[in-house]
Chain A
Amino acid sequence: MLVQPEWRESSDEELVRLTLKYPDAFGVIMMRYEPKLLRYVRTISRASKEEAEDILQEAFLKAYRNLNGFDTDQKYSSWMYRIVRNETISWHRKMSARAEGRTDIYSAEDLSHFASKEHIISKLEQDQLHGIVRNVLDTMDKKYRDVLILKYLEDREYKDISFILQKPMGTIATLLNRAKKQFREVAKRCGTDLELL
């Protein structure tokens, strides 16, 4: 069965149910999440675009195999983020690569979102701010950067971050606090006063 036009309007959870009957419905889920997840893989890894696509393909296949294990109390997107993150970590282990992230694949629009007044207190101009935010994120500890990326770049809620990173909510809150503190300290070392809200 080919992709039905009405499937494009379905929620993720409905698509999961549909996929169990019609595998082609999975195509709609993949198209919905491919850009975001591809960017996420590249942000948390040193993977090239091609490598990131391979990782993502494996992650989608894994998700497909495990569709019956998807907990409908969680968001499908969070489940996908968790699988993609685990797959990226496995890829790093296999490649014995350093799990350093790269923030240069974030567009100016993404960084504007991160560096918006909603998230950051700063007197800098936007363009200048983007560069500094990038540098600061690249310099931070991975565990703190991971949580900041999910919160401010991927716009995930605490509950989702807890599910994706498989850590209790309290631990996520602590990590975020420490991450904000480190963000401020690293920014200060770069000669700028930045405060994450």
Chain B
Amino acid sequence: MSDRVAPALKVLRRLGPVAVAMAVVVAARQPHPGEEATQPASGAATLAASAASPWLEPGPVRGWQRVASGWMLRFQPDHGAWLLDVWVPEAGGHPSWRLEVAQWLPGARLSSEAASAWLGVTPVAAREQLGRRDWSGAGWALVGSLPAGGRLPRSGGASSGELRAVLAGLLLAGATARRLERRLSDPVWLGLVGVAAVGMAGLAPAVFPLGGRLLAAEIRPAVAGLAWWAGVAMLMGGILFAAITCPTARGLKPARLLPWAFVLGLAAASAAPVVWVAELASVAAPIPALAVAAVLGGWLAGLAGDGLGALAASLGPARVPLLIAAAVAAVLVGGPLLGPSLAVVAVAAGGREGGAWLGLAVVAGVLVGSLAVVCVWPEVQWGAWAALVGGLGATMLAAWAAEARRVQSGG
């Protein structure tokens, strides 16, 4: 056997169990019927358009969000004087809607009796506006004399604010650690983050539906889009600046762990999928958007993981128990942040040299796994399975290449 084939076979022998593990993860994945989307947002928009308020021109769909086993779609005309929210349930029930109208638009000032008759319920509260009187009661509302729909389901605030704060603190700790203890920087990561940040700034208008929360009556959608783009550009500028001043360390020491990290991400997604991938998969350019999200997520996981690693290192022999405790805590309380939390722990365990690549593999696994679990319409299912196989292959290939280089260099 040649010098190159022997180590390759050795690596493949090591990585064989990875494929088995992935098969087990895929086979044993838990269904999440409450989080499954059977159609993209555009499909739901077609249903929603028929159910929308017949009295006002709703305008095109501007934003969407997964809310309580359904799509919440936001329609608004260019002038922005009103905003129509329509919730389309996955179960196939009748869509429900709610109309928000600028407070300066004129209308009627109905009496309580007239409002009762028109609403069908006894209104409890009147609100005087500039040129009209609004009524509400039992979740239903009247804008002047215009029915404004009923109460809509809200997105559950399941994610823990404390865990977000911990992750943000770890990002700061990671930036400080990288600046204090400089290592040889990895130009590949700098290029990747640069392309991803610039790409995300360019893609911002295409992914504006995810910023649909910025839409409001009285605010023109073009201005909301501008605010979204400006916010994304500022955030990307900050990430790019951090990538330059707090560079990722060069190296890929735990190369053989890369496929395992990918499988870990798949397992995390199987347990707690990231629901917003359905929102991302519904945008005009889903593949670049998902790729950019994976790179940026991986880099951020690398930064936070370096922070956790630096903190853990200060504990000396207690480092390993701390990381195990962190992983257990992530599993127990991570909820929708399980995947990102596990990515951070994986990076901290992997060390500065190569930890970020582990983070990228975990995040990629989380995204691919979530796509497979959440987006059950055929196109994305095919794409998710292809990405699953491709992701495993790519991580195996990267691991093999790194291992071969290490053997060649006698490292």
Pairing of A with B: no
Listed in ascending order, the chain A residues whose CB lies under 8 Å from chain B are none
Listed in ascending order, the chain B residues whose CB lies under 8 Å from chain A are none
